[in-house]
Amino acid sequence: MVGLSVGEKHFIQGGINQNLRSDGRKRDTYRPIFVETGVIPQANGSARIRMGATEVIASVKAELGRPSALQPDKGKVAIFVDCSPVAEPTFEGRGGEDLSTELSVALQRCLLGGKSGAGAGIDLSSLVVAEGKICWDLYIDGLVVSSDGNLLDALGAAIKAALSNTGIPRVHVTAAASGDEQPEVDISDEEFLQFDTSEVPVIVTLTKVGRHYIVDATSEEESQMSSAISVSINRKGHICGLTKRGGAGIDPSVISDMISVAQYISEQLINKLDSEISAAEADEDES
Amino acid sequence: MREIQLSLNQTQKIRLQKALQKLESLHSKVNSDASVTVADTIPISLEDSILKGHGTAERNGEVVATVCGVVERVNMLVYVRSLRSRFKPEIGDIIVGRVVEVAQKRWKLEINFNQDAVLMLSSMNLPDGIQRRRTAVDELNMRNVFEENDVICAEVRNFQNDGSLQLQARSQKYGKLEKGQLLTVPPYLVKRQKQHFHHLVQYGVDLILGCNGFIWVGEHCDARDTVAEEQLNNTEEQNTKSTRVSENVPLETRRSICRVANAVRVLSTLGFSLTLEVILEAFNLSSTLNLGIDEMLGSEFHVLVAEKEAERRSSLTKKKR
């Protein structure tokens, strides 16, 4: 991340105050979003999302495993994010680890709900095969290829697109088992169940610069931020998760205001994403 | 040909292909047999003694190209000039750079080159305008002139022995750039021309095309005599500096700045050379179409710019004939 001169910083802040950012966007406009699905054929589902110069790839792999003893009727999902050194020279070696952990935790909080599994955006009960014995484990991996701000939103959108692209093989339980034995299963190669993503939330990050909030900040604008709030909102307008970053404190009334702005923006974002994802799936089917 | 990084639907892809093919056909008459790829033999007549320059190698008695590019011949020298390469500076080039370090009696600037350029304190006009020897006090006040991360416009003075550049900023038109934005484009898109400083009068916008690929778009500042005025009022120095910078750019000027900047971004994505005409064409196209400024970065506008450019160049070549 290159530094910015005093003049450039004032230009960016003045632009945000006047509702005209450096690339001509208003405060509540996203950069053009490009979606491509099925980019990793070995995974059960994958997607690549580009927002301006930010590019991320998400992939979903499904494996059979045992459900946890505390929740025998739910499958398991694990989310990991990796920041590639291709994105920033500072990510080389262990430099990207802090950011990766921060993003993974924020995504888990936004998409998976609390420890008991309540409020999860992804319906875990649909992943169970034999209650208490066998369930699907989903491993969701995100890779940051190019970083120009707003990584969390891009990763949330990529995960949503990858989940829409995910096909879970149909499983027949061939032999029932008693007690602790594992039942035998027959995994079909032909039939796939498409994952239901209508409940998966999107993440909207609002970055506070001066007195105003902007959505989809570039890395230059992020360097000027005082704090940022990421809200994950689903189609019904309900909040599934909330994360705050940045050193400055925010008054609670300001947080409520930011949340309502995020709800308003999320409607357009969900519609835009859905249309882009279906267009991408249609393209993938053609080719 | 490296793929253009845009997401286009089918019709847009076809239109873009057509426009690019039209542009290629306009230029294919020129020296198509001079372009070579790696390991192509360069035709030389064996009687002349030739000097093998950059991008060539001798293999089995033949002169062979080691890079993809165009063969150039100057007297006895034969070399291959590659089309896409790092910035190759020459003396007199206008450069836009960012200060990375304030060192003893010099500033080090980052200019998108393999080494940082050096701007000596003696190559910079003193704030009070007097020509005199730089003293230790001047050296201590260097940060008042340029600080870290400042954007500066300067000219290449000469090369140092290790290959790095030495810059000078003596004229009034060089110096610190404020109130605008800096864009980075591939350096081979900015060809050397007569004028690199453009003042778009009707919009009040300054456009500086640095040969190193840094492009500055900002509000118009009259020649940097503001620095001299500021330093004269020593007591009010801090106030005038901060008020000068924090005066807001008026909204109309900001719109023009953002539109010009987006025009440059679109042209850089398409890979077209950046000249004032082409940038103004893209600017006017977006104004006549009443496009929102941020819509200029969508794929439709890219295709329109490519088509317009193909039309413009074909009409130019027709006029020449």
Which chain A positions have a beta carbon within 8 Å of B217's beta carbon? none
Q: What are phi and psi of A125, to 5 degrees?
A: -70, -20
Count the domains in chain A. Answer: 1
Count interface pairs A-B at CB distance under 8 A.
Answer: 86
Give residue B264's pLDDT.
94
Place of tokens 């539109």: B259
Q: Is residue A172 part of a domain?
A: yes
Q: Is residue A105 part of a domain?
A: yes
Give residue B246's pLDDT.
62
Q: Is residue A212 part of a domain?
A: yes
Give residue A133's pLDDT.
82
**Which of B37 and A94 is assigned the larger pLDDT?**
A94
Instruction: State the pLDDT confidence band at B132, using cuts at 50, 70 and 90.
Output: confident
Q: Of the segments A174-178, B37-41, B108-112, which one has the largest average pLDDT value?
A: B108-112
Domain that holds residue B170: 86-177
Distance in angstroms (rounded) separating the CA atoms of residues A194 and A37: 14
**Which of A58 and B57 is assigned the larger pLDDT?**
A58
| Mean pLDDT of chain B, nearest integer | 84
Q: Is A84 on the interface with B (CB under 8 A)?
A: no
Give residue B319's pLDDT.
83
Q: Is residue B162 part of a domain?
A: yes
Query: Could you tell me which residues are beta bridge partners of residue B245?
Result: none
Q: Residues B299, B169: one domain?
A: no
Q: Is B254 on the interface with A (CB under 8 A)?
A: yes
Q: Is residue A110 part of a domain?
A: yes
CATH code for the domain in which residue B70 is found: 2.40.50.100
Q: Residues B148, B184: one domain?
A: no
Beta strands in chain B (DSSP E): 35-36, 51-52, 56-59, 62-65, 69-74, 77-82, 94-103, 106-110, 117-124, 151-159, 165-169, 175-177, 180-184, 197-200, 205-209, 214-219
CATH code for the domain in which residue B114 is found: 2.40.50.140
Give residue B280's pLDDT.
93
Tell me if B85 sits within 8 A of B94, measured CB to CB.
no
Distance in angstroms (rounded) separating the CA atoms of residues B81 and B102: 36
Give residue B223's pLDDT.
63
SS3 B100: strand
Give residue B2's pLDDT.
52
Q: Is the pLDDT of residue B239 over 50?
A: no
Regarding pTM above 0.90, the answer is no
- Tell me the mean pLDDT in the region B277-288: 92
| Mean pLDDT of chain A, nearest integer | 87
Instruction: State the pLDDT confidence band at B234, using cuts at 50, 70 and 90.
Output: very low
Count the domains in chain B. Answer: 3
Q: Is residue A273 part of a domain?
A: yes
Q: Is the pLDDT of residue B293 over 80?
A: yes
Q: Is residue B240 part of a domain?
A: no
- Give percent above pLDDT 70 in chain B: 89
Half-sphere exposure in the Cβ direction for A166 (13 Å, CA): 23
Q: Which of B148, B177, B259 sits opposite A24 (nearest CB)?
A: B259
Place of tokens 């990084």: B5
Q: Is the pLDDT of residue B230 over 60?
A: no
Q: Which of A4, A10, A24 sits opposite B262 (nearest CB)?
A: A24
Q: How far is B130 from chain A (nearest CA, A)?
A: 27
Distance in angstroms (rounded) separating the CA atoms of residues A178 and A181: 6
**Which of B271 and A117 is assigned the larger pLDDT?**
B271
Q: Residues B308, B217: one domain?
A: yes
Which chain B positions have a beta carbon within 8 Å of A50's beta carbon? 7
Q: Is residue A214 part of a domain?
A: yes
Q: Is residue B123 part of a domain?
A: yes
Each residue's pLDDT tens digit, A16-45: 999 999 888 999 999 989 999 999 999 999
Residues 31-90 of B with CB under 8 A from A: none
Q: List, in sequence order, the alpha helices (H) in A122-251.
A: 151-164, 219-222
Q: Is the pLDDT of residue A127 over 70?
A: yes
Q: Residues B209, B316: one domain?
A: yes
Which chain A positions have a beta carbon within 8 Å of B296's beta carbon? 24
Each residue's pLDDT tens digit, B301-321: 999 999 999 999 888 888 876
Say how far residue B159 (Cα) sits from the centre of its chain: 19
Give residue B31's pLDDT.
57
Which chain B positions have a beta carbon within 8 Å of A8's beta carbon? 151, 178, 180-182
Q: Of the segments B37-46, B169-178, B243-252, which one has the largest average pLDDT value?
A: B169-178
| DSSP single-letter state for residue B298 | S
Q: Is residue A256 part of a domain?
A: yes
DSSP β-ladder status, B165-169 and B117-124: parallel
Give residue B21's pLDDT.
87
Least trusted range by pLDDT, from A91-100, B30-39, B249-258, B285-294: B30-39
Q: Residues B148, B96: one domain?
A: yes
- Tell me the mean pLDDT in the region B239-262: 77
- Tell me the mean pLDDT in the region A192-204: 82
Q: Is A5–B149 a contact, with Cβ atoms under 8 angstroms apart?
A: yes
Last-in-domain residue among B159, B177, B195: B177
Q: Is residue A1 part of a domain?
A: no
Domain that holds residue A242: 6-286
- Tell me the mean pLDDT in the region B248-268: 91
Each residue's pLDDT tens digit, B80-117: 888 888 888 999 999 999 999 999 999 999 998 989 99
CATH code for the domain in which residue A18 is found: 3.30.230.70
Q: Is the pLDDT of residue B226 over 50?
A: no
Q: Is the pLDDT of residue B294 over 80?
A: yes
Rg (Cα) of chain B, in Å, rounded? 23
Half-sphere exposure in the Cβ direction for B45 (13 Å, CA): 4
Interface test with A, best of B150, B259, B301 (most A CBs within 10 A): B150
Instruction: State the pLDDT confidence band at B197, using cuts at 50, 70 and 90.
Output: very high
Each residue's pLDDT tens digit, A56-110: 999 999 988 888 888 888 888 899 999 999 998 888 888 889 999 999 999 988 8
